[in-house]
Amino acid sequence: MSLNIKDGEFILIDKELHWTSFDVVNKIRQSIKKKLNIKKIKVGHAGTLDPLATGLLIICYGKMTKSIDNFSAMKKVYDGKMIIGSTTPSFDLETKPNINYPVNHINEKLLLKTSKKFIGEILQKPPMYSAIKKNGVRLYKLAREGKKINREKRKVIIEKFEITSIKFPEVSFSVTCSKGTYIRSLVDDYGKELLSGAHLTWLRRTNIGDFSVNNSVKVMEFIRKI
């Protein structure tokens, strides 16, 4: 594989579990610098994926980094799983369940009906365990110190929120959404709307715009090919 340093390129990466989006960017940056024996090159990503999420990450290098905002603005598609009846401080498995809720009133009909309430433009509060900065500090760093900061709700668009499988208390789903949507927050809000609780246990991004994870490569696979 030859690198187009003059014009830059974008790379479709299938991010693996526990990697941060920055880990991917840094690994690819260092590998390109080493391969070409250069000191500097711009590398960035279009749309953060949490460490506990896998799937499609668009990496841009060189002049293509100017297109990052265009990629970021594209709609995203996710497949996920959640557990109904308990919540965690991080809304996912980064932290342990800390509160249990009643579930005897929940049935398949309620699960399906409730998911439809989130279709369209909604207001969503970002989780404390997120990369958003407050006074220059990432919120997740404050959260790990036991601090809780007020977060303003943001408008996001949910095009599709489909329940795909129910093996209660585990519920699988598919979401098509706009830029800036936190699937963890969607799951948390969904649990509240059920008059219960819920937390995310598995998440994979399958599409960004017309780009599919099926056409992506793992980080180390890309590095071996350059």
What are the structure tokens assigned to 186, written together? 């969607």
Element (H, E) at 190: helix 183-193
Does residue 111 contact residue 198 with C-beta atoms inside 8 Å?
no
Does residue 29 contact residue 41 with C-beta atoms inside 8 Å?
yes
* C-alpha closest to that of 158 among 80, 60, 103: 80
Selected catalytic residue, list 14, 50, 92, 188: 50
* C-alpha closest to that of 129 among 115, 139, 120, 119: 139
Q: Is 50 a catalytic residue?
A: yes
Return the active site residues. 50
